Amino acid sequence: MPKIVLASRNPKKAIEIARLLEPVGLDVLGLDQFSDAPEVVESGVTFAENAALKAGQPAMATGQWTLADDSGLIVDALNGEPGVYSARYAGENATDAENNAKLLEALRSVPPEKRTARFVCHLAVADPSGAIRISVNGSCRGRIIDDDRGTQGFGYDPLFLVPEFHRTFGQLSLQVKSQISHRARAFHQLIPKLQQVLREI
């Protein structure tokens, strides 16, 4: 079975992505299985740039095809914040709770109808030389609410309400989320491209 390295040490993200890659028939290896894999500095100013950095450097270090995901939350009323800084919005090594608290504080004076937001996911696949062979993105629109709802997912999920379902990402089942999320939509574009690349190697 072909292998691909997932450039993440986040176990919840790894589970979600392994599920999304099931149709391809790939053996997904976490970056934690490669002790010499570098810690990538996310110096890009866009999700696409960061995804390319996170795929290319580990691919060269491991000699394996590597998939990287750079995702984040864009809030319209905050001029796109937290954006590429979503994981470290409240500072380096910030917890989900700290990031969520900062987001709610920033939105304290913003009325509910103006709290529109979208989750964005950019995926990049690098070959063993570090060259980016695939680059795709997906998004999902919603709204930020004041109270945490649900324990599914991670990050800002409990605050991100999807209007069509009247539930947050924290309340939606993995089955539903794997159909409608920003990550699912990016993978919907990725999978046929990845299958084509695998046929060529």
Q: What is the DSSP string of 28-69?
A: EEEGGG-TTPPPPP---SSHHHHHHHHHHHHHHHHTS-EEEE
Are 89 and 82 spatial neighbours (Cβ–Cβ below 8 Å)? yes
Contact 165, 176 (CB under 8 A): yes
Q: Which of 13-22, 53-62, 112-121 has the lowest mean pLDDT?
A: 13-22
How are the residues of the chain apportioned to helix, strand and coil, as percentages rounded to the nearest 5? 40, 25, 35
% residues pLDDT > 90 (the chain): 69
29 compared with 73, residue with greater pLDDT: 73
Q: For 103-108, what is the mean pLDDT?
A: 97
pLDDT tier, 199 (very low <50, low <70, confident <90, very high otherwise)? confident
- Distance (Å, whole) CA 123 – CA 121: 7
54-60 average pLDDT score = 95
User: Which amino acid type is present at position 133?
Assistant: R
CB 149 within 8 A of CB 168: yes
Residue 109: CB partners within 8 Å, gap ≥ 6? Answer: none
What CATH number did the domain enclosing 118 receive?
Answer: 3.90.950.10
State the pLDDT confidence band at 32, using cuts at 50, 70 and 90: confident
* pLDDT(1) > 70: no
The tally of domains found in the chain comes to 1
- Total-model pTM: 0.90
Q: Could you tell me the residue range of the domain that residue 34 belongs to?
A: 3-200
Q: Report residue 129 as tokens.
A: 């030389």
Q: When comparing pLDDT for 71 and 10, which is higher?
A: 71
Please answer whether residues 182 and 120 qualify as being in contact, where contact means their C-beta atoms are separated by less than 8 angstroms: yes
Sheet of 3-6: strand order equals: 27-30, 3-6, 66-75, 116-126, 132-144, 160-162, 167-168
Beta bridge partners of 188: none
Based on the residue annotation, tell me whether 70 is a catalytic residue of this protein. Answer: yes
From 70, 76, 127, 157, active-site residue: 70
Q: H-helix or E-strand containing 2? A: none
- Tell me the CA end-to-end span of the chain in Å, nearest whole number: 13
